[in-house]
Structure 1
Amino acid sequence: MADPFDAELWRDKARGLRAAQDMLRADSAIQEAARLAPSDPLTAFLRAQSAYELGHPAAALFAEAVRLWPENPDVLRNHALALAAEGRQVEAEAVLARALAARPDWLDGQRVLASLRYSHGDAESYDAGFAEAVRAQPRHQGLWLGWFTLRAQQRDWPAALRILDEAAHHLGETRQLAVARAFLASESGDLAEAQAQLAALTGADDAFLVLCRIRTALRAGQPERARDLALPLTGTHLAGQVWPYLSTAWRLLADPLAAWLDGDPVLHGVLDPGLSAAELGELAMLLRQLHTASLPYAEQSVRHGTQTDRSILLRHEPLLGSVRTRLMEALRDHVAALPLPDPRGPMPHPTLGRPRGGLQISGSWSVRLGAGGFNVTHSHPVGWLSAVLYVALPGDPGPAPAGALQLGAPPPELGVSLPPYAVIPPRTGQLVVFPSILWHGTYPFAAGERLNIAFDVVPTSA
């Protein structure tokens, strides 16, 4: 009879290997743990999750994990995601719908169901689950705010306002609804109303509210206020989110700290990871097979295209493993050549002041854009360095800067007129790297296909 302690040892080994991103050996270890403890719920879940993250069929494994651990909503959610990944969209939705019928206030389940529906082409009624849930539980504020967030992510301001008005009818004007109204007013262009709403909100600000205040200050032509709101947060868990706004404020104020932060010239690299035309062609074929969605997920920066799920550079395919090795080698060389931080800086530099030992992928994905496609301007708050590998590009994207990457220009919706630090036309096989906190986006192109792999890395040691 197998010793449960042996299974636990294998499970711990799998965790350690997974933390080191040695995904294949981690999978072998968790398989051994599952062999020794086939009825253990946690081991069954981890076994299914490992297969899913590697890109293997995992729905059957999750079904077994659900049988062993039916009360764990994470297992059920991931079962649905695995079904969808295998092209079983109807079954995936049914799994979530059954669970939500019994527990409509399961917010994560509602979000995942809406996301699956939207990414597979239902851009109209993807949020029907939230609509049904608030009818069943009209005094559940989390459901109303979750529904509002879905529509706000699509910038569907009339629908978002209707949701808040209906929520207030059932709940009264709570502080959380007032925060949402201030956000909606600011983002939809009603600056006077946003300022009035924000002035009325007293007490401690959460992350959402302070970012709303910063964005509103920039829209109002108050870079000093945006700077003063952002600066104290650079030493907190919100640092990754506020640095790009601080950069914008400093640039508007002609403060030399903008150059200290972003570099002069801007910190970036254009690298050659050494992938041949044949390797890029094979990689393009593989990536196209992995783009199965009809629309991008609602919260993503992609327009007129799709983005893959899971971490693409941690999948099982040998080609992706080889590409990952080449990309990480190029990144390590780039990191070794980064300048040292200026010791006269007012605070530790968020990019140059980080450790430069090991590197680890904190997220990776592929973006496939069609005619008119682009990425809206954004930043990556949890990354250190961000990179993009161009795998396939349009033959004729149109007049410059069509299809190019811009670094540094803030999002247009802030109403701030600042040019990009750099505009980089893409080249097949080229790897571009830049600080994750830097505003970046791409320009639309006329026709064809733009296929890439993008990823973030973080340092692992000094």
Structure 2
Amino acid sequence: MNPAQAQRFKQAQGLLQSGQRAQALSIAEALTQQAAQAVDAWQLLGMCLADDGRQAEANAAFERALALLPGNATVSRNYGISLARHGKALRAQDRLEAAEPVLRKALALSPEQASAWVDLGAVLRLLGRIDEALSAYRQAEELLRRRGVDAPELQDAINGVLADAGRTAEALAGARRLVARHPGHAPAHETLGNLLWENGATLAPGEDPLDALRAAARAQPDNRALQLAFVRMLVATKNADEAIALLTPLRRREPGNAMLEWFAADALDTLQQHEQAAPLYAAAARGELGVLPEFLNAHARHAFRTERFDLAARCAEKAVRLDPHNQEGWSHLGTAWRLAGDEREHWLFDYEKLVGYVEIAPPPGFNDLPAFLHALAATLDAMHGATREPVNQSVRGGTQTAGQLFGRSDTVIDAAQAALSNAVETWLATMPVDPTHPFLSRRRREIRFAGSWSVKLRSSGHHSNHIHTKGWASSAFYVALPGSVLASDATSCAGWIQFGQPLESLGLDLPPRRLIQPRPGHLALFPSYMWHGTVPFDDPESRLTIAFDVQPKN
């Protein structure tokens, strides 16, 4: 570039740094035309285009710069930073399969980006590739260690991945070290509490799983995040009395705080003190929480409990208007329609048409379905190392595997994923498309897994009635069933899956709309907003299933 062009280059850099994107981009485009062999001009154009959200064009500009000066460290670093930002955005949009190659290329160009390694680890963890996720996190950990940075968020993620991998003792030890080193870091305390809740009977016998979090909250009364983390855990574990006692000084310190009012209302509702909860919900609804679907759903639950079905309907209608894909909002709206005798309940739920029940084909490599189910049961059994159900899940009297089940480096799990994916797509192909329907309007030829896990219920175990907030279609695949379930009939329905009966704590006297008797190798499929649960069974044998949520692939 000549001196005048160099001056314009510096001007564009300043404009870009000050957020004047359009002006900077205009100068960069002119410079690449005037000085087509100038590496800096193409690099600047790449940075401007990336900042403008035009990533494909930005990549082309950076590639042009590297073609002019192969291996240049500055161009590679800036190109890598640009790709890392794009990969982070894709991850935030839940486009995990698209984010992975972008992040990998970013790190190939600029491997010193600790944050990109963290993003890659998070993406891989969500894809179920646990070993690769841990490796990415370790890369970030080493880079930060060299810089003298102690990142508790990263260490907490590493502990979570160790738990996903079944290395629970390591995860628990890591969580204990982390809260000792960072006593004010609330997520680390939550991780420790959850690990102790599920695994404490074997790894820390006699220890109250809430003691460490309780002690930390008492020692740090001004740590708001820690106080709220403890409140959440108390409500989730049915210790609502203690939650209210903890919230009292917080609410006194911050009168009118809508979030604290919501927490207190939820705790009071848990204790069935609905009259005291009602004004707190109403006050919170008048503020900024009144446009938050999560709060609207909580308010609807309260309205059902107090038999204000018109209020429940209004809350649900607003929730789905704000978020048309909000599964809990649709579930509440359909329930309100049912209570009002509104025929739209049947349009929304249609328990015959929208509940599928199919037998899967044995995957390649297995002679028949029983052989496959036997191998799958052995694999899953080894993954059920916990002694009780997770907090805030539907499982009662059983265990649930940690992390994503699908995506792991296991041939039997891979075979199950492929067989189940084929079964889902075959079932969906039989569904009509209805542009007015919240489920049928989103039907696509292909799906992606949004979550996957296994559940092992013991005798008297069951799933409480629930929905899946992160899904579009959900499932139950039967791997191994006790004799009492196989021999049950329509009179006892022991171990059967039921649809249409709302969450028990809503206090609604509504029977299920449809029940299905499980059979090994069969897959139940249904919209994620549809209430479903299971009937308890009495048998020394376990009831072993795989469940997953899917989203339509665009």
Same fold (TM > 0.5): yes
Deviates more, 1:291-300 or 1:441-450: 291-300
User: Do residues 67 (structure 1) and 142 (structure 2) align?
Assistant: yes
Match of 1:304 among 381, 397, 404: 397
User: Do residues 261 (structure 1) and 348 (structure 2) align?
Assistant: yes
Amino acid at match of 1:330: A
Structure 2 residue aligned with 1:149: 232
Structure 2 residue aligned with 1:41: 114
Question: Is contact 1:403-1:442 (8 Å) kept?
Answer: yes
User: Do residues 56 (structure 1) and 131 (structure 2) align?
Assistant: yes
Amino acid at match of 2:512: P
User: Do residues 121 (structure 1) and 121 (structure 2) align?
Assistant: no
**1:13 and 1:220 mapped to 2: Cα distance?**
47
Deviates more, 1:352-361 or 1:368-377: 352-361
1:274-353 to 2 correspondence within 5 Å? 274-275=361-362, 276-341=369-434, 348-353=436-441
**2:450 and 2:548 mapped to 1: Cα distance?**
8
1:300 match: secondary structure: coil
Question: Is contact 1:21-1:314 (8 Å) kept?
Answer: no
Structure 2 residue aligned with 1:360: 448
**2:86 and 2:381 mapped to 1: Cα distance?**
34
Q: Give the structure with the higher percent helix.
A: 2
**2:297 and 2:388 mapped to 1: Cα distance?**
28
Structure 2 residue aligned with 1:245: 332
**2:281 and 2:314 mapped to 1: Cα distance?**
16
**1:99 and 1:164 mapped to 2: Cα distance?**
26
RMSD: 3.3
Deviates more, 1:352-361 or 1:65-74: 65-74
Deviates more, 1:100-109 or 1:57-66: 57-66
Question: Is contact 1:139-1:171 (8 Å) kept?
Answer: no
Q: Could you tell me how far 1:121 is from its partner in structure 2?
A: 2.4
Q: Could you tell me how far 1:58 is from its partner in structure 2?
A: 6.6
Amino acid at match of 2:131: H
**2:544 and 2:197 mapped to 1: Cα distance?**
22
Structure 2 residue aligned with 1:212: 298
**1:440 and 1:191 mapped to 2: Cα distance?**
25
Deviates more, 1:411-420 or 1:117-126: 117-126
Q: Map Cα deviations across residues 170-227 of structure 1 (whole Å, 9 max, x no partner).
A: 6667443322222122222122222243344463224443223211211222212211
Deviates more, 1:354-363 or 1:427-436: 354-363
Amino acid at match of 1:271: V
1:369 match: secondary structure: strand
Q: Percent identity of the aligned residues? A: 28
When Rg is computed on C-alpha atoms for both structures, the one with the higher figure is 2
Q: Map Cα deviations across residues 253-280 of structure 1 (whole Å, 9 max, x no partner).
A: 0001111111163521111111310001
Corresponding pairs, count: 453
Distance 1:438 1:260, change over 3 A: same
In the superposition, the TM-score normalised over structure 1's length comes to 0.86
**1:2 and 1:292 mapped to 2: Cα distance?**
49
In the superposition, the TM-score normalised over structure 2's length comes to 0.73
2:484 match: secondary structure: coil
User: Do residues 419 (structure 1) and 419 (structure 2) align?
Assistant: no
User: Do residues 441 (structure 1) and 533 (structure 2) align?
Assistant: yes
Structure 2 residue aligned with 1:403: 495
User: Do residues 458 (structure 1) and 551 (structure 2) align?
Assistant: yes
Q: Map Cα deviations across residues 287-326 of structure 1 (whole Å, 9 max, x no partner).
A: 1111122222212111111111222122121222222111
Q: Which runs of 5+ in 1 are unaligned?
A: none
Q: Could you tell me how far 1:55 is from its partner in structure 2?
A: 4.0
Deviates more, 1:69-78 or 1:238-247: 69-78
**2:527 and 2:286 mapped to 1: Cα distance?**
34
Distance 1:98 1:214, change over 3 A: same
Q: Could you tell me how far 1:149 is from its partner in structure 2?
A: 0.8
Amino acid at match of 2:521: G
Match of 2:474 among 381, 386, 391: 386
Distance 1:111 1:3, change over 3 A: farther
